[in-house]
Structure 1
Amino acid sequence: MERLKGIMMVIIGASFWGLSGAVAQMLFEETTITAGWLVTIRLLVSGALLLLFTLCTSNRGEVFGVWKKPKFFVHILLFGIFGMVGIQYCYFVSIETGNAAVATLLQYLAPVFIAIYATVKFRELPDTNKVISIAIAVLGTFLLLTDGSIDNLTVSPVSMFWGVLSGVALAFYSLYSKELRQHYSASVLVGWGMIVGGIGMCFVHSPFDVQGVAWTLPTLSKVFFVVIFGTLLAFYLYMLSMKYLTAQEASLLGCTEPLVAILASIVLINIPFGYYQMLGALCVIVMVVMMGRKPASQKVQGSMRSKEAV
């Protein structure tokens, strides 16, 4: 029963992540809310609430203790600005200029970039598993973006660029946070990463700059869902599932996210999704599963989708 509880937590959390992308797209299409504003609010509110929750747990001493070690001070700042903001901003801009389903799947290319990084850094030839996984990912990406025809891009080049960049940012996030995760609990690290990233975003997109937005109940409900359900609760459920499942199991079950993102895009937003795109999406998910069965390198144990914040 405990194992089943952990599985349900991951699936529900991943479903919230997938749904939040579709809900964000609805906000971009129906209102003047921008990706920059939504990311700023999402990071600041979720980060603050996550740290407040942590203050009520046995890890409360870590909340402010992280800033007492000069060794990690700069690391946390870089983690928040380049890791947290990188993932969030690139992902939502990809949605804003394209659609949630494709943006989510492009972000899931992160294991490919981790594998490439490991190969270059350690000068190791990729094993058969990695070669096949990367080949499947390339094929899947091609089908996803073209629906089988080179002359038919399913999303704009701008959306494609930001989507791939979000995958690169997720790879950086996973690799760079490895040492930090060994010293701090996930909730503290991610909470401060969100706060640092949110403060950084304030200099680019002020949280008070929402001119022209009609704050109707549907609009408020969507923002609430993205910030609370799609960020805070999604992460918290994922984190709790670690009590009952291994990180590898949780990461693989997290593949529920792109499936939900696709279904939500089709049902809620009426985004057309061709047969070749479906095949491409399946290829990307198969790649994630294959990568999840074996680390990208014996020396680089960066979890592809700890998803401790996205």
Structure 2
Amino acid sequence: MKNKGIIMVLSAATCWGLSGIAAQLFFHHFISTPGMLVAIRLLSAGIIMILLQCLLKGTSNAFSIWSDKKDRFTLLIFGIIGMLGVQYTFFAAIHYGNAATATLLQYLGPVFIIVFVSLRLKKMPGVKELAAFLLALAGIFFMTTSGSLHSLSITIEALVWGILSALAAAFYTLYPRKLLATWGAVPVVGWSMIIGGIGLSLFNPPWTFDWNQGSLFLYSLLLFIVIIGTIIPFYLFLDSLRFVTAARASILSSAEPLTAVLVGTLFLHTPMDTVQLLGSLGIIIAVILLTFQPVPKGSDNKKRAVSR
């Protein structure tokens, strides 16, 4: 059963990595803005998730989250700042750069969580956290500069949006914990996607997209991003927590940036030299160090998680 869980997590992480690649192809072949693609993704995936929840768990289960006034407000904040923030910044980083660097930069979210928690508790992080933080900084430097102090190997826009994506991912991870514990992941994520999608549609209405560009390739990419890159990996990752611990699942999810780097380098010919690859590896190792926690025997550390 543990092997089944491992396969499920790796499959989910691979799908997430490939969704970034699909977004890169979308921006390369079609005229669109990050906001337009994110609005389409959030609305489509969110509506499908809530419909599935209605079919599987019942309408009352899917809509009960709106019964509590305080949780309604928290859900709105999470949908607008958390879900919309993490999605828009990630796709903007892809738009101005590429899927590999965007995924790696967003993967720095746990590093910012450590910084935030240390500042909040007014306590210096431990040796492991400091080592991971320094390793992550070194990884960013080598990935974005190829080791040269005189030039960036990625655009400044891609770097800024990537860092903002990591910050948004940190907020996205920390903020909805009470919501998840009370209502479960599917209603929280599904409704937050719909909220974020509606909010973004006010500025980037999906119906104003030039659908005359339409082709089998266009619709295939959109379906891939929504179904393969969002809904399927979400359910795989969430269901995998029945078989593996949350810590192990988080470590295995490093397959996401590895997938983006490998596919981007080998098939999309994304320029990435040896120094950048070493920097990328440094970021992944740093996050794994921060994620890994020894588990006492007999403890149950399975926690609810949300999809990216």
From the superposition, tell whether residues 238 and 59 of structure 1 become closer, same or farther in structure 2 (CA, over 3 Å).
farther
CA contact (8 A) 1:252 1:292 kept: yes
Tell me how many residue pairs correspond in the alignment: 301
Q: How far apart are residue 61 of structure 1 and its match? A: 3.2
CA contact (8 A) 2:247 2:293 kept: no
Secondary structure at the residue paired with 1:244?
coil
TM-score (norm 2): 0.94
Q: Which amino acid aligns with 1:66?
A: I
1:147-162 alignment to 2 at 5 Å? 147-162=146-161
2:102 aligned with 1:93, yes or no?
A: no
CA contact (8 A) 2:12 2:236 kept: yes
Q: How far apart are residue 304 of structure 1 and its match? A: 12
2:35 aligned with 1:36, yes or no?
A: yes
From the superposition, tell whether residues 178 and 184 of structure 1 become closer, same or farther in structure 2 (CA, over 3 Å).
same
2:191 aligned with 1:192, yes or no?
A: yes
From the superposition, tell whether residues 145 and 304 of structure 1 become closer, same or farther in structure 2 (CA, over 3 Å).
farther
Instruction: Provide the residue aligned with 1:300 in structure 2.
Output: none
Secondary structure at the residue paired with 1:55?
helix
TM-score (norm 1): 0.93
2:307 aligned with 1:309, yes or no?
A: yes
Q: How far apart are residue 240 of structure 1 and its match? A: 1.1
From the superposition, tell whether residues 304 and 117 of structure 1 become closer, same or farther in structure 2 (CA, over 3 Å).
farther
Q: How far apart are residue 60 of structure 1 and its match? A: 5.0
1:1-310 alignment to 2 at 5 Å? 2-58=1-57, 61-211=60-210, 213-294=212-293, 306=305, 308-310=306-308
Instruction: Provide the residue aligned with 1:298 in structure 2.
Output: none
- After superposition, the C-alpha distances for 1:18-56 in whole angstroms (9 at most, x for unaligned) are 011111111101110221111001101111111111123
Poorly superposed stretches of 4+, deviation over 3 Å: 58-61, 303-306
Secondary structure at the residue paired with 2:213?
coil
CA contact (8 A) 1:22 1:268 kept: no
From the superposition, tell whether residues 68 and 212 of structure 1 become closer, same or farther in structure 2 (CA, over 3 Å).
closer
From the superposition, tell whether residues 305 and 19 of structure 1 become closer, same or farther in structure 2 (CA, over 3 Å).
farther
- After superposition, the C-alpha distances for 1:107-141 in whole angstroms (9 at most, x for unaligned) are 01111110111111111111111100100000000
Secondary structure at the residue paired with 2:170?
helix
CA contact (8 A) 1:35 1:92 kept: yes
Q: How far apart are residue 212 of structure 1 and its match? A: 6.6
Distance 1:217 1:305 in 2: 37
CA contact (8 A) 2:238 2:304 kept: no
CA contact (8 A) 2:184 2:304 kept: no
Instruction: Provide the residue aligned with 2:299 in structure 1.
Output: none
Secondary structure at the residue paired with 1:150?
coil
Q: How far apart are residue 294 of structure 1 and its match? A: 3.7
What's the C-alpha RMSD, in Å, of the aligned pairs? 1.7
CA contact (8 A) 1:84 1:309 kept: no
Q: Which amino acid aligns with 1:257?
A: E
From the superposition, tell whether residues 34 and 173 of structure 1 become closer, same or farther in structure 2 (CA, over 3 Å).
same
Distance 1:243 1:60 in 2: 24
Identity rate, percent: 38
Distance 1:91 1:305 in 2: 23
CA contact (8 A) 1:7 1:250 kept: yes
Q: How far apart are residue 181 of structure 1 and its match? A: 1.2
Distance 2:28 2:189 in 1: 29
Unaligned residue ranges in structure 1 (runs of 5+): 296-302
Distance 2:205 2:63 in 1: 26
From the superposition, tell whether residues 305 and 146 of structure 1 become closer, same or farther in structure 2 (CA, over 3 Å).
farther
CA contact (8 A) 1:19 1:261 kept: yes
CA contact (8 A) 1:171 1:304 kept: no
Q: Which amino acid aligns with 2:56?
A: T
Secondary structure at the residue paired with 1:204?
coil
Distance 1:291 1:273 in 2: 25
Secondary structure at the residue paired with 2:161?
helix
CA contact (8 A) 2:142 2:276 kept: yes
Distance 1:140 1:24 in 2: 24
Q: How far apart are residue 230 of structure 1 and its match? A: 0.4
Unaligned residue ranges in structure 2 (runs of 5+): 295-301
Q: Which amino acid aligns with 1:55?
A: C
From the superposition, tell whether residues 25 and 305 of structure 1 become closer, same or farther in structure 2 (CA, over 3 Å).
farther
Distance 1:291 1:78 in 2: 27
Q: Which amino acid aligns with 1:309?
A: S
